[in-house]
């Protein structure tokens, strides 16, 4: 595919209307959960297990405290099922007896005075019989005699295409490596929280910070033993999420609702302080990858053999889905006849790991991309050249065995990235710099990858998302969907898509608040699916609405906002149906075999080539990313400024993952560096230049050919940076984050 | 003894204990919810306000030190300004939880450097964490507000 078929966007300001939520956020008037007005509110707090699994023997309440002043909730107060609804009902809402990790909720307390509440928390002691052999490591879990669950394996997947043994015969050069990636904290700046109100009909309303209102609703239905009509979930302005507010809000909502049920009509607010949020909410899965790659002398990949394992923590939660995305993305955007990827999610006594931007893909892509550089080194070939030889083209078989269609821009992305960075020129400059013997070493490294948008495989089919548009008498249109704005710009993007499809100015279209009593279930706000999948449904609903207005309200073939409004007025006056709903239909050629991991895993892949240029100080061994170039083909940039912000923000998180961020664990498997003082994310002073290049091939499954972009930028930075450091220092790196201590060890031991 | 100060240009007196956090006084007594709590230990800057023109984290400031202080929160910034317009236009806000603190950091920065260099902007914002933007669009907004190019 030649570059000329891809549009390269240069002016991001053009076609980027103002964010619909911009003014309120800039003036500080947007209300987050902790800001919601609520008279006479009680504050909630949580007593948690301290041992890494075991049995709860007794809960002792300090007799010196007058407990009648407090709302006290234990497992016995749960009217419904004591399980957080997700893939499997294995995680309890409140510990009754058996538990699997430190930090599980046992007792909930509420009081009007936060100070008294804090003292009361110390007045509840738990008698725990600890698990004597807790497991905190992936390989230890696989080898352990002690079983948390049978075999300590939640899920065991195998992508097996071709014959690796055959590939070994054909390979002239083989490399073998073992890579580790750490957990990573989402670190949304707004901690998690919920506010629950008992309603007059005995039902419960929960408001709070969340990605997926219908996940929360389903969890409340199960835990509260109430039907949906008595439960209502409303998203408040959400201060960042990145996956971290996908599943855990269900837990907090159940806790807040249980307290509200016993609070005699007073509302209960349960907002975590930062330390609690860091210690108990889910983070990125740590991973361990054993990888072997083989190529012939020409550099053509002959086989990819990976054993990819992630630490799922103490409960299954989202691990099977994280694993499946990790397995599918593991072999990268390369053609290779023989591929085997075994993926396992294992059980440990860590708090459960969960969703974080990229969802398993950053871990496996890290291993693959650093291994590609190792292979290039062994072949004495430039890493860019090795990729050029192997990147997929239209007509090739993808790693999951489907024929790659016209929507493949892997080469275009690589070409653009090499051109933008003057890659070969930089390479020579950095070689000369390093040979000159200065105080620093410089390197340039790359990663090429693709990221699939939307739920994996048949996931979108199972979700069967629905979106509605409501025409109002004044000619305005309301979008009703359950997808949430959490900073990523969904509110603006979805309004823009609707306005565009309806031929109306944006100020005539409004996104309804994500309130389960009003909006249909359009699926969770995850998996880079909102713009592409939900945006497409909005576009379809808009078509239906226009058709209805033409057929029943005399909307002319050509119209403006005024005549559109007149038609809406007529439709309302005639008591016509002003609501249209579109439901997801899978693309005709979508075939996915969930058992064999074969077929088309995603409706669209976005294609990317990321290049990092780094400088390492030889005295301090501190690495600085001088320049970062992110080139991605994303179909169509609906709102280029928002897309640019998504890419830059994702790259910054990726730079943190590569260089700074490391979750450290105490002896009970709890995050030890549970403060912003010692969990380090990049500040403005830490980040260098970023260049975002958007390529638009126009062939994605979303509106005007758009593809999902949310997760994509998390995949590439870590391997690109590591590959750059390896070249700067001529060392082999097998683990992130690359901190000075690690570089010291590596350089002292010869570096390989 | 009550503490007397000026908040967003208006006199205010608080009878809370002198060791109360300024953050809580602003949020709970003055109902100024634009000042956010992100970490409670002075690391993230979400609670940043101006005290006598200087950028401080209000979660670390005891009320007792605020006697006669002039305090500006995000609500005290002009509703419409070149800075506010630039923030909207350039995509400087995403989830928005750090934005009030960023606006105050930017205000303090521009008061000190009317035409800041990129390096000055980066250091000026380095006490305010943003997890969404990677800071690029915020640099662009500040550069634009200072009359420079938004092409950062």
In whole angstroms, give the CA distance from residue B32 to residue A28: 9
To the nearest whole percent, how much of chain A has pLDDT over 90? Answer: 95
Nearest beta carbon to residue A685 from set B35, B122, B134 = B122
Number of Cβ within 10 Å of residue B134's Cβ equals 30
Q: CB B89 to CB A18 under 8 A? A: yes
Please compute the mean of the pLDDT values over residues A407-426 and round it to a whole number. 98
In whole angstroms, give the CA distance from residue A624 to residue A713: 19
Q: Residue A658 contacts by C-beta under 8 Å, 6 or more apart in sequence?
A: A717, A718, A721, A722, A736, A737, A738
**Structure-token match 């909102």, residue found:** A530
Q: CB B95 to CB A189 under 8 A? A: yes
Instruction: Round the average pLDDT of chain A to a whole number and report it.
Output: 96
Q: What is the CA radius of gyration of chain B?
A: 15
DSSP letter assigned to residue A34: G
Least CA distance to A683: which residue of chain B?
B126
User: What pLDDT score does A586 carry?
Assistant: 86
DSSP letter assigned to residue B35: S
Q: Is A243 on the interface with B (CB under 8 A)?
A: no
Is the Cα torsion angle A383, A386, A388, A393 positive or negative in sign?
negative
CA angle A425, A429, A433 (to 5 degrees): 170
Nearest beta carbon to residue A187 from set B84, B131, B138 = B131
Residue A106 φ/ψ, nearest 5 degrees: -120, -50
Please compute the mean of the pLDDT values over residues A247-276 and round it to a whole number. 98
Nearest beta carbon to residue A28 from set B39, B75, B131 = B75
Please compute the mean of the pLDDT values over residues A581-589 and round it to a whole number. 90
- For the stretch A12-54, pLDDT in tens is 666 899 999 999 999 999 999 999 999 999 999 999 999 999 9
In whole angstroms, give the CA distance from residue A607 to residue A405: 13
Q: CB A30 to CB B35 under 8 A? A: no
Strands A204-208 and A231-235: parallel
Q: Note whether A292 and A175 are within 8 A (CB).
A: yes
Q: Is A19 on the interface with B (CB under 8 A)?
A: yes
Q: Note whether A468 and A579 are within 8 A (CB).
A: yes
Q: What is the ipTM of this complex?
A: 0.98
At A751 the three-state DSSP class reads coil
For every residue of B14-25, DSSP letters joined together read E-S-TTSBHHHI
**Structure-token match 């007594």, residue found:** B29
In whole angstroms, give the CA distance from residue A708 to residue A214: 21
From chain A, the residues in CB contact with B73 under 8 A are: 28
At B54 the three-state DSSP class reads strand
Alpha-carbon dihedral A459, A462, A463, A464, rounded to 10 degrees: 130
Question: In Å, how far is B44's CA from the nearest CA of chain A?
Answer: 7
User: What pLDDT score does A102 carry?
Assistant: 98
Q: Note whether A381 and A345 are within 8 A (CB).
A: no
In whole angstroms, give the CA distance from residue B55 to residue A64: 44
Maximum Cα–Cα distance for chain A, whole Å?
83
From chain A, the residues in CB contact with B130 under 8 A are: 189, 684
**Closest listed residue to residue A416, CA positions, set A443, A448, A373:** A448
Question: In Å, how far is A548's CA from the nearest CA of chain B?
Answer: 36
Asked if the model's pLDDT at residue A164 lies above 70, the reply is: yes
User: What pLDDT score does A1 carry?
Assistant: 33
Q: Is A716 on the interface with B (CB under 8 A)?
A: no
User: What pLDDT score does A2 carry?
Assistant: 34
Give pairs for A585-593: CB < 8 Å, separation 24+.
A586/A458, A586/A460, A586/A461, A587/A701, A590/A461, A591/A402, A592/A457, A592/A458
Cis peptide before A737 (omega within 30 of 0): yes
Burial of A456 (0-12, 13-18, 19+ CB in 10 A): buried
User: What pLDDT score does A563 carry?
Assistant: 97
- For the stretch A182-207, pLDDT in tens is 999 999 999 999 999 999 999 999 99
Question: For A178, how many CA atoms within 13 A lie in the half-sphere containing its CB?
Answer: 3
At A679 the three-state DSSP class reads coil
**Closest listed residue to residue A673, CA positions, set A743, A718, A739, A748:** A739
To the nearest whole percent, how much of chain A has pLDDT over 70? Answer: 99
Q: Note whether A195 and A201 are within 8 A (CB).
A: no
Q: Is A627 on the interface with B (CB under 8 A)?
A: no
Q: Which region among A1-10, A40-49, A425-434, A494-503 has the lowest average model confidence (pLDDT)?
A: A1-10
- For the stretch B98-148, pLDDT in tens is 999 999 999 999 999 999 999 999 999 999 999 999 999 999 999 999 987
- For the stretch A435-463, pLDDT in tens is 999 999 999 999 999 999 999 999 999 99
From chain A, the residues in CB contact with B38 under 8 A are: 189-191, 274, 676
Question: In Å, how far is B66's CA from the nearest CA of chain A?
Answer: 22
For every residue of A280-332, DSSP letters joined together read HS--PPPEEEEEEEEE-TT--EEEEEEEEEEEEESS-TTHHHHHHHHHHHTTT
- For the stretch A690-729, pLDDT in tens is 999 999 999 999 999 999 999 999 999 999 999 999 999 9
In whole angstroms, give the CA distance from residue A57 to residue A65: 21
Burial of A425 (0-12, 13-18, 19+ CB in 10 A): exposed
In whole angstroms, give the CA distance from residue A715 to residue A735: 15
Indicate the pTM of the whole model. 0.97
Q: For an interface test with B, give the residue of A14, A22, A692 to mutate (most B CBs within 10 A).
A: A22
Q: CB A273 to CB B40 under 8 A? A: yes
- For the stretch A307-364, pLDDT in tens is 999 999 999 999 999 999 999 999 999 999 999 999 999 999 999 999 999 999 999 9
From chain B, the residues in CB contact with A187 under 8 A are: 131
Question: In Å, how far is A675's CA from the nearest CA of chain B?
Answer: 8
Q: CB B46 to CB A189 under 8 A? A: yes
Number of Cβ within 10 Å of residue B115's Cβ equals 10
DSSP letter assigned to residue A54: E
Identify the band that residue A752 occupies on the pLDDT scale cut at 50, 70 and 90. Answer: confident
Question: In Å, how far is B105's CA from the nearest CA of chain A?
Answer: 12
User: What pLDDT score does A144 carry?
Assistant: 83
Q: CB A239 to CB B96 under 8 A? A: yes
In whole angstroms, give the CA distance from residue A587 to residue A328: 19
Asked if the model's pLDDT at residue A521 lies above 80, the reply is: yes
Residues forming a β-bridge with A505: none
From chain B, the residues in CB contact with A653 under 8 A are: 131, 134
Identify the band that residue A11 occupies on the pLDDT scale cut at 50, 70 and 90. Answer: low
Altogether, the residues listed in chain B come to a count of 152
Q: Which positions 637-666 of A are in contact with B (Cβ < 8 Å)?
A: 641-642, 644-645, 648-653
Asked if the model's pLDDT at residue A113 lies above 70, the reply is: yes
Q: Is A443 on the interface with B (CB under 8 A)?
A: no
Number of Cβ within 10 Å of residue A642's Cβ equals 25
**Structure-token match 């509420």, residue found:** A110
In whole angstroms, give the CA distance from residue A3 to residue A418: 13
Q: CB A687 to CB B134 under 8 A? A: yes
Q: For an interface test with A, give the residue of B28, B75, B97 to mutate (most A CBs within 10 A).
A: B97
Alpha-carbon dihedral A356, A357, A360, A361, rounded to 10 degrees: -170
From chain A, the residues in CB contact with B41 under 8 A are: 274, 675-677
CA distances to A332, A691, B108 from B125, in Å: 37, 20, 10
At A699 the three-state DSSP class reads coil
User: What pLDDT score does A590 carry?
Assistant: 83
Least CA distance to A277: which residue of chain B?
B39
Residues forming a β-bridge with A126: A59
In whole angstroms, give the CA distance from residue A192 to residue A236: 11
User: What pLDDT score does A5 carry?
Assistant: 58
Asked if the model's pLDDT at residue A559 lies above 90, the reply is: yes
User: What pLDDT score does A4 carry?
Assistant: 39
Q: CB B96 to CB A26 under 8 A? A: yes
Q: CB A274 to CB B137 under 8 A? A: no
């Amino acid at each position: 595919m030649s570059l000329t078929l891809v549009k390269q966007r240069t002016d991001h300001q053009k076609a980027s209307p103002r964010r619909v939520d911009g003014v309120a956020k800039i003036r500080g008037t947007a209300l987050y959960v902790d800001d919601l007005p609520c008279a006479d509110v009680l504050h909630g707090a949580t007593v948690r297990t301290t041992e890494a699994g075991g049995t709860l023997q007794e809960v002792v309440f300090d007799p010196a405290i007058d407990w009648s002043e407090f709302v006290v909730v234990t497992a016995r107060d749960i009217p419904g099922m004591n399980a957080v609804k997700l893939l499997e009902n294995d995680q309890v809402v409140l510990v009754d007896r058996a538990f699997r990790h430190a930090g599980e909720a046992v007792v909930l307390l509420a009081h009007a005075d936060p100070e008294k509440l804090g003292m009361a928390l110390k007045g509840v002691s738990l008698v725990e019989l600890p698990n004597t052999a807790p497991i905190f490591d992936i390989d230890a879990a696989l080898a352990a005699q002690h079983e948390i669950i049978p075999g300590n394996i939640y899920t065991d997947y195998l992508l097996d295409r071709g014959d690796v043994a055959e590939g070994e015969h054909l390979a002239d050069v083989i490399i073998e490596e073992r890579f580790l990636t750490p957990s990573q904290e989402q670190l949304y700046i707004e901690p998690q929280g919920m506010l629950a109100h008992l309603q007059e009909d005995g039902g419960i309303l929960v408001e709070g910070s969340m990605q997926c209102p219908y996940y929360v609703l389903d969890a409340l239905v199960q835990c509260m033993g109430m039907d949906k009509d008595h439960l209502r979930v409303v998203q408040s302005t959400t201060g960042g999420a990145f996956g971290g507010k996908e599943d855990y809000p269900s837990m907090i909502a159940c806790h807040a609702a249980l307290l509200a049920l016993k609070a005699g009509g007073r509302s209960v607010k349960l907002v975590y302080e930062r330390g609690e949020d860091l210690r108990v909410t889910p983070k990125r899965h740590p991973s361990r990858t054993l990888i072997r790659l083989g190529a012939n002398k020409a550099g053509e990949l002959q086989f990819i053999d990976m054993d990819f394992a992630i630490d799922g923590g103490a409960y299954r939660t989202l691990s099977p889905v994280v694993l499946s995305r990790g397995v599918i993305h593991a072999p990268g955007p390369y053609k290779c006849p023989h591929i085997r990827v075994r993926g396992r999610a294992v059980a440990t006594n860590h708090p459960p790991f969960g969703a974080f931007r990229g969802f398993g893909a950053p871990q496996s892509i890290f291993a693959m991309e650093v291994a590609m550089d190792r292979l290039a080194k062994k072949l004495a070939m430039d890493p860019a050249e090795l990729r050029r030889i192997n990147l997929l083209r239209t007509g090739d078989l993808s790693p999951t065995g489907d024929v790659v269609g016209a929507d493949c821009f892997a080469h275009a992305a690589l070409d653009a990235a090499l051109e933008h960075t003057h890659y070969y020129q930089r390479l020579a400059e950095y070689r000369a710099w390093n040979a000159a013997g200065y105080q620093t070493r410089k390197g340039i490294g790359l990663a090429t990858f693709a990221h699939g948008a939307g739920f994996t495989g048949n996931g979108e089919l199972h979700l069967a998302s629905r979106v509605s548009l409501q025409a109002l008498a004044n000619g305005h249109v309301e979008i009703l969907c359950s997808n949430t704005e959490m900073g990523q710009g969904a509110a603006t993007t979805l309004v823009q898509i609707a306005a565009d499809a309806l031929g109306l100015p944006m100020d005539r279209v409004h996104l309804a608040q994500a309130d389960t009593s009003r909006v249909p279930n359009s699926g969770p706000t995850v998996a880079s699916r909102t713009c592409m999948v939900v945006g497409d449904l909005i576009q379809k609903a808009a078509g239906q609405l226009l058709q209805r207005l033409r057929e029943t309200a005399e909307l002319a073939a050509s119209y403006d906002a005024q005549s559109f409004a007149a038609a809406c007025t007529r439709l309302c006056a005639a008591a016509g149906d002003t609501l249209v709903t579109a439901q997801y239909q899978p693309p005709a050629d979508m075939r996915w075999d969930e058992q064999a991991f074969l077929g088309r895993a995603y409706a669209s892949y976005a294609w990317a080539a990321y290049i990092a240029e780094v400088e390492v100080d030889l005295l301090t061994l501190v690495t600085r990313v001088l320049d970062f170039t992110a080139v991605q083909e994303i179909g169509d940039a609906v709102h280029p400024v928002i897309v640019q912000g998504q890419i830059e923000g994702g790259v910054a998180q990726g730079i943190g993952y590569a260089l700074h961020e490391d979750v450290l664990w105490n002896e009970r498997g709890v995050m030890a560096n549970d403060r912003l003082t010692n969990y380090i994310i990049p500040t403005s002073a830490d980040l260098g230049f970023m260049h975002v290049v958007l390529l638009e091939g126009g062939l994605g499954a979303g509106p005007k050919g758009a593809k999902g972009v949310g997760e994509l930028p998390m995949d590439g930075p870590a391997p690109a940076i590591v590959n750059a450091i390896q070249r700067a220092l001529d060392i082999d790196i097998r683990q992130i984050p690359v901190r000075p201590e690690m570089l010291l060890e590596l350089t002292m031991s010869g570096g390989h | 003894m009550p503490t007397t100060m000026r908040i967003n240009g208006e006199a205010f007196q608080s009878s809370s204990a002198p060791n109360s956090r300024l953050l809580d006084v602003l949020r709970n007594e003055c109902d100024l919810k634009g000042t956010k709590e992100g970490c409670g230990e002075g690391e993230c800057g979400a609670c940043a306000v101006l005290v006598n023109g200087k950028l401080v984290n209000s979660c670390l400031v005891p009320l007792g030190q605020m006697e006669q202080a002039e305090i500006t929160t995000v609500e005290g910034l002009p509703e419409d300004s070149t800075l506010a317009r630039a923030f909207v236009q350039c995509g400087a806000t995403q989830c928005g939880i750090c934005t009030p603190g960023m606006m105050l950091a930017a205000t303090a920065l521009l008061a000190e450097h009317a035409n800041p260099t990129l390096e000055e902007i980066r250091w000026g914002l380095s006490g305010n964490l943003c997890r969404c933007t990677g800071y690029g669009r915020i640099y662009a907004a500040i550069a634009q507000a200072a009359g420079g190019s938004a092409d950062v």
